[in-house]
Amino acid sequence: MKRKMRVGILTGGGDCPGLNAVIRAVAKKLIIENNVEIIGIKDGYEGLIRNYYKRLDYADVSGILTLGGTILGTSNIANPYRQAVKHRGKTVMRDVSKKVIENIKKMKFDSIVCIGGDGTLTIASLLYKDGIPVVGVPKTIDNDIRGTDVTFGFDTAVAIATEGIDRLHTTAQSHHRVMLVEVMGRTAGWIALYAGIAGGGDIILIPEIPFEIEKIASLVKERYKRGSRFSIIVVAEGAKPKGGKVVIKRIVQESTIAVRLGGISMLLGKQLEELTGIETRAVMMGHLLRGGSPTSTDRVLATQLGTAAAEFVRKKKFGMMVGVKGNSFAAVALKEVAKGPRIIKANNQLVSVARCVGTSFGD
């Protein structure tokens, strides 16, 4: 009797609205059309390192379309090629990829669908290079994965950020304050750009366009003189002044991304209040952008990406990520994805649109 095809699914990196929708789409398509055995790998690559698995039947993936987070759990620390382990009372980084490859072979996976951002997909690229049949699905609220026009989770994050900006408008107007809204975006300012435009931000600060604090202060004072006695500033966590550095919240050495950003809005708020004499307040939206139920747009996109990934598995298009190109989907080599994030270019059309309606980028 022929053995059933066995496919593993893992979700790595930060959580993101739409993860469960992808899991559901991959599993349902493969179960319905090919009677595939689906194995959920728990807690991202941690599951491959420690053999944490669970079988996913059709019923297990039903009713999860609208759920935020991931039913499989995740980790942004686990990395088979740089795993934190205890040695003589100290934490050291070790390459445990050989053990992971052995575990994969013991589980008799015919392929593994890796759902994640650039960190997760870079690791997937290395696994493929080491002979593991993998397929990638682009996930991140930051929308910064190379090789795809958009990632699921982004639309939800922008919607939440926009609602936050809308709510802050009323208190900013009432108290005649400068309100800074800090959103995620380490190296790419897509969330800040989209939410800033959608929420009518007066100033948008993104990593790709270094700002000058004096110019921001001058604009705030100019608005005040014109009768607009408040200002809304939307700032990505990775924004930085010309010739300056990002604001680092803490260092997590064992993480795949050791430097954790956060606090630029607090620093700017203090500086602006000193330069303008106008009261300022800062709000860090942080992980609020990751949580909750995905928007309808993200549910649809995640379902499309999941079914496309299942088709990649069927056709053995391994070492590839499902990328969105215009109105279609394309196979993008994981080694290309691993080359770095997709950032906002200086000639980006939305940057031009924002400038046309009077929005400043602090430059």
pLDDT of residue 241: 96
Domain housing 227: 156-290
Is the confidence at residue 10, as pLDDT, over 70? yes
pLDDT of residue 252: 67
**Higher pLDDT among residues 324 and 89, named by residue:** 324
CA distance 156 to 138: 15
pLDDT of residue 89: 78
Is the confidence at residue 235, as pLDDT, over 80? yes
For residues 44 and 123, is the Cβ–Cβ distance under 8 A?
Answer: no
Total domains, the chain: 2
Q: Give the pLDDT band of residue 139 (cuts 50, 70, 90).
A: very high
Clarify whether residues 137 and 164 are in a common domain.
Answer: no
Please tell me whether residue 191 adopts helix, strand or coil conformation: helix
Clarify whether residues 88 and 168 are in a common domain.
Answer: no
Average pLDDT for 79-101: 89
Clarify whether residues 263 and 306 are in a common domain.
Answer: no
Q: Is 208 buried (19+), middle (13-18) or exposed (0-12) by CB count in 10 A?
A: buried
Establish if 147 belongs to a structural domain: yes
CATH of the domain at 209: 3.40.50.460
Is the confidence at residue 49, as pLDDT, over 70? yes
Residue at a domain's end among 290, 307, 327: 290
Clarify whether residues 117 and 161 are in a common domain.
Answer: no
Establish if 353 belongs to a structural domain: no
pLDDT of residue 259: 72
Average pLDDT for 147-176: 96
Clarify whether residues 276 and 324 are in a common domain.
Answer: no
Clarify whether residues 236 and 286 are in a common domain.
Answer: yes
Establish if 82 belongs to a structural domain: yes
**Higher pLDDT among residues 254 and 28, named by residue:** 28
Clarify whether residues 189 and 92 are in a common domain.
Answer: no
Clarify whether residues 52 and 128 are in a common domain.
Answer: yes
Establish if 348 belongs to a structural domain: no
Clarify whether residues 133 and 218 are in a common domain.
Answer: no
Clarify whether residues 327 and 253 are in a common domain.
Answer: no
Residue at a domain's end among 257, 290, 323: 290
pTM: 0.94
Establish if 357 belongs to a structural domain: no
Q: Which residues are catalytic?
A: 142
**Whole-number average pLDDT of the chain:** 94
Establish if 349 belongs to a structural domain: no
For residues 9 and 39, is the Cβ–Cβ distance under 8 A?
Answer: yes
Clarify whether residues 123 and 175 are in a common domain.
Answer: no
Q: Give the pLDDT band of residue 76 (cuts 50, 70, 90).
A: confident
Residue at a domain's end among 290, 325, 348: 290
Please tell me whether residue 340 adopts helix, strand or coil conformation: coil
CATH of the domain at 128: 3.40.50.450
CA distance 123 to 24: 23
Establish if 355 belongs to a structural domain: no
Clarify whether residues 234 and 320 are in a common domain.
Answer: no
Q: Give the pLDDT band of residue 93 (cuts 50, 70, 90).
A: confident
The 10s digit of each residue's pLDDT in 315-346 is: 999 999 999 999 999 999 999 999 999 999 98
Establish if 127 belongs to a structural domain: yes
- What is the token pair recorded at 62? 């039903």
